[in-house]
Amino acid sequence: MNQTTIDQLLAVLPRNKTIESAVSGLFFYCADKPSKAVSYIQEPSICIVLQGEREIYLGADCQRFDNSNLMFCPVNIPLSMHIKHASIKNPVIVLSMKLDLAMIRDVLAQLPTTQPMAGSHLGIKWHLDDTIMDAFDRLIRLLNYPNDIDFLSSLIQQEIYYRLLLAEQGNKLKQLVVSGSHTHRIAQATDWIKAHLDEPIMVESLASRCGMSISGFHQHFKEITQLSPLQYQKKACD
């Protein structure tokens, strides 16, 4: 990320709170002090640590994120974030962009059908290459030109999805918008659980709702969220 862009963000971002920018679906969090692990439900998003480092706890798994990688959340996922090192002189800055499924489908439809895709191994940590970071840099700098946001932001976001779809793990993003894929079905399940947190989970009913066998539902649900459906609901309610 261009240091000038970082400096511009530091000049305007409030500290220790999440804000949505003038670009719809683009959020920032700037921490100038360490924090204990904070639990929340991450909506389907791309998240990047622009400066500093944070730890993400997903189930029993802990992963560290800095500006060399991004976090890909294809579904609503209950997780915890821990910032160990942050100060007024060296704050941590995190960007989050909600996934626009309709836009992803449109971009995917324009890719050559013969375009090779990576395997479907699941994981939230992706390598962040320079082309993706450069597009995000331009999206952030667009905040300096409010009259251009409505027209140009969607064009830059389309480029971001284009580059993500062609990235090493791009098949994960593709599977999210392909109707009938395991990721698409589990996304429907997590949406239902999130909307019915005060209701008991009937796994058989939820698997049927997604058009999956009980064993297949359990397997793919845990692959994507690192939690069983019951653990997911408990974590989401915490």
Over the stretch 204-228, which tens digit does the pLDDT of each residue have?
A: 888 898 898 998 888 888 888 878 8
Domain boundaries along the sequence of the chain: 3-176, 179-237
Query: Tokens for 116?
Result: 């090779």
**179-237 shares the fold of 3-176:** no
pLDDT at res. 229:
86
Q: What is the CATH number of domain 179-237?
A: 1.10.10.60
Mean predicted confidence (pLDDT) in 3-31: 95
For the domain with range 3-176, which CATH number is right: 2.60.120.10, 3.30.420.40, 3.40.50.1100, 3.30.70.370? Answer: 2.60.120.10
pLDDT at res. 172:
83
Give pTM, 2 decimals: 0.84
